[in-house]
Structure 1
Amino acid sequence: MAASPQQHGVQSIEVGMQVLTAIERGRGPMPLSRIAVESGLAPSKAHRYLVSLQRTGLVSQEVGTGLYNLGPAARRLGVEALRRVDEVATASPYAAALRDRTGHTVYLAVWTDTGPSLVRQDHGYHPLPLLIRVGSILPITDSSIGHAFMAFLPEPVTRPILLAQQERKETSLRSADELARALDEVRGTRLASVHGSVVAGLNVVSTPVFGPGGTVELVIGVAMPARVDDEQDLARIHAELLATSRAISAELGHTEPA
C-alpha cells in the first residue's frame, strides 16, 4: 500500500530520491551542475547528497571525468526488483479498471514459443459473438494481439512462429510487403486493429506493454462488438487503452524516451 501524503516520513530520503531520479533520467554519466538542475536543488545541496549516496554505493563517480552515475548498490536493487516483478499480476488491476471504464472485454496476452497466448480475460458488459478462452494461442497475422507483438518484438523471435503457424494453416498467408506496411502502421500509432478476422462480428484493438529497456512484456487488447463503430467512442477507447498501457509500462520500469 502506498503511503498517504498525510503520513510523516523522512524528508532527506525523499530529496535523495530526487537526486537518484535525476541521474536515472539522464541515461548516462552526468555532471553535478546538470544533476542539480534536474533534481531542483542548489549545486551545493546536490553535492552533499551525492557524497552520502556515494558512501552507500547508490551513486558512483568516475575518476577521470568527475561525472556521476548510478552505483553498484543501485544496480543490485534494480536487478532484484526486476526478479520480483510478475508482469501479468502487475497488469491485471489495470486491465480490470480499463474494462470498467470502457465497458468492453479486455485481454492480456504474453508471447510463447507457439505464438501469442491469452493469459487473462476481463468480461465486459457488451455481449460478444464468441469469447476466446484463456490459454488460447492466437493466429499471428489475423489477430491484433499478434500484430502488436510482431511490430515490436525482434523479427528473429517472431518469424519462426509466423512460418510455423502458416505451415500448419493456423494463420493467413500475407505478402511480405502487405505485412510490412501493416506493422509499420502499428509502430506509428502503437495500436493494432482487426475487424472480424478471428471471430466474425468481433473487433479487437491492442497495444504493447513495455518493460525496462523497451522490451515487450505483454499485449493488452479491448474486444468490441462490430456494431461499436462511432468514431468518438472508438477514439475514447483507443485513448484509454494507450493510457493504460503507459501506466502498466511505467510500473514495470519502462521509461518513455524524451
Structure 2
Amino acid sequence: MEVTKKGTTIQSLQIGMGIVDLIAKQGRPLKFTDIQDLTQITKSNLYKYLNTFTQLGILYRSKDTGEYVLGSKLIEYGMAAADHENVVDRVTPFLQEINEKSSSTVLYSSWTHNGPMIVKDINIHRGYNIGAQIGTFLPIHSSTGKIFMAFMDEQMIHDWKTKEFMQLSPEKVRQLEEERYVIQEKEISFAREPLVSSVSSVSFPVFNYKKRLLGAVTIVGFSQFIPNHEEDDLSQYLVQISKEISGSFGFNSDEK
C-alpha cells in the first residue's frame, strides 16, 4: 500500500480538533450557535462532536449557560507536555541528527540561576576535548550565552548579565548589546568560543508554544567547520531544524 509523505489522516478527527482549536483561540466561552457560525458545521454533526469532546473532558459545558470552554483533560495533557524533564528527551533525536549532519559536538543548555548550563552533549566523533561537558556554565559572550541574553526574560537574567558584563570591556559589552537585536531577528548566534582557542560555535533557541525560551542548541567544533554567518549552508539547515524542534513544543514560527 502506497503511503503519502505526511501519512494518511482521519478527516473527522481533523475536523474535531479544528473545533477545539477554534474554541481555544477565541479565548472566551462559546455558545453552540457561536461555534456553528464559526465552523459552518451542520447542527447534528456539531452536536455529536461537542457531546463527544465533553464526555472525554476535552471540552466543558456550563450547566448554567450552556457555553463551552476547554476542559480539564486538556489542562492535564498540557501539563504533561510541558513537563521540564521531558524537554531533553524530546530534543535528543534532533541533537543526534544535527551531530550526524555537522560531524561536530552538539550541546543542549538550560537556564539556571547561575546562567546557562550544559545538560546534554552528543558527539559520536569522540577524541577532541572542546572544554565543555555536562554541568559546564557558559559565559554570556559564547553563542549559547548570547541566545539566553537575547530571549530570556530580562528580570530573570539581570543578575547574571550584570555579573558577566563586569568581566568584559565596555567595547565588548556594546557589541553584545548591538548583536542581541540581530539575534532576536535571525534566531541564530555565532561566536569564537572563549573556552578553547581555535574553536567556534553556533547556537539557536528552543521555544515553547508561548515563545518562552526552553533552552539553546549549540554546535561546537574547529572554526573552519563551524559557520560564522547565516548564509552558510549549515546555518540554513540549523535555522530550519530549529523551527522543527520548537514546533514539537507547540511554537508556530509563522506567528512570530
Q: What is residue 35 of structure 2 aligned with on the other side?
A: 32
Q: 1:240 to 1:63 in 2, by over 3 A?
A: farther
Q: Are the counterparts in 2 of residues 23 and 35 from structure 1 also a CA contact under 8 Å?
A: no
Unaligned runs of at least 5 residues, structure 1? none
In structure 1, the residue matched to 2:181 is 184
Secondary structure of the residue aligned to 2:95 is: helix
* SS of residue matched to 1:50: helix
Displacement of 1:79 in angstroms is 2.1
Structure 2 unmatched ranges of 5 or more: 1-5
1:184, 1:43 → 2: CA distance? 50
- CA shift, 1:223, in A, is 1.7
Return the TM-score normalized by structure 2: 0.77
Q: Equivalent residue for 1:254? A: 251
Question: Does structure 2 conserve the Cα–Cα contact (< 8 Å) formed by 1:103 and 1:126?
Answer: no
1:46-195 to 2 correspondence within 5 Å?
Answer: 46-60=46-60, 68-83=68-83, 85-123=85-123, 125=125, 130-140=130-140, 142-167=141-166, 169=167, 172-174=168-170, 177-195=174-192
What SS is found at the alignment partner of 2:224? coil
Contact 2:119 2:134 in 1 (8 A): yes
Describe the SS at the equivalent of 1:252.
Answer: coil
Question: Partners in 1 of 2:214 and 2:227 — Cα distance?
Answer: 31
Conserved? CA contact 1:104–1:126, under 8 Å? no
Structure 2 SS opposite 1:106: strand
Residue identity matched to 1:82: A
Q: Is the 8 A contact 1:127 1:225 kept in 2?
A: no
1:176-210 CA-partner distances (Å, limit 9, x unpaired): 64332111110000011112444321121101101
Distance 1:95 1:199, change over 3 A: same
CA distance in 1, matches of 2:228, 2:164: 34
- Report if aligned partners of 2:143, 2:201 keep a CA contact under 8 Å in 1: yes
Question: How far apart, CA to CA, are the structure 1 residues paired with 2:227 and 2:12?
Answer: 52
Provide the rounded CA distance (Å) in 2 between the counterparts of 1:43 and 1:186: 49
Paired-residue identity, %: 20
For the structure 1 residues 60 and 147, does the alpha-carbon distance in structure 2 shift closer, same or farther, using more than 3 Å as the test? same
CA offsets, 1:143-180, max 9 Å, x none?
0100001100011111201223455x4xx244564332
Q: Alpha-carbon deviation of 1:102?
A: 2.3
Other structure's SS at 1:227 match: helix
1:12-69 CA distance string (max 9 Å, x none): 5565334324444x362464257527xxx66753443123323433224679998754
Q: Compute the RMSD of aligned alpha carbons.
A: 3.6
Cα distance in structure 2, aligned partners of 1:206 and 1:132: 14
Q: 1:143 to 1:65 in 2, by over 3 A?
A: farther
Distance 1:85 1:248, change over 3 A: farther
One-letter code of the match for 1:178?
A: Q
Please give the per-residue CA displacement for 1:99-153, whole angstroms capped at 9, x wherever unaligned.
Answer: 112222211111111111112222265986734222111111x201000011000
Q: Which amino acid aligns with 2:181?
A: D
Check the 8 A contact 2:230/2:236 in 1, yes or no. Answer: no
TM-score for the superposition, normalised by structure 1: 0.77
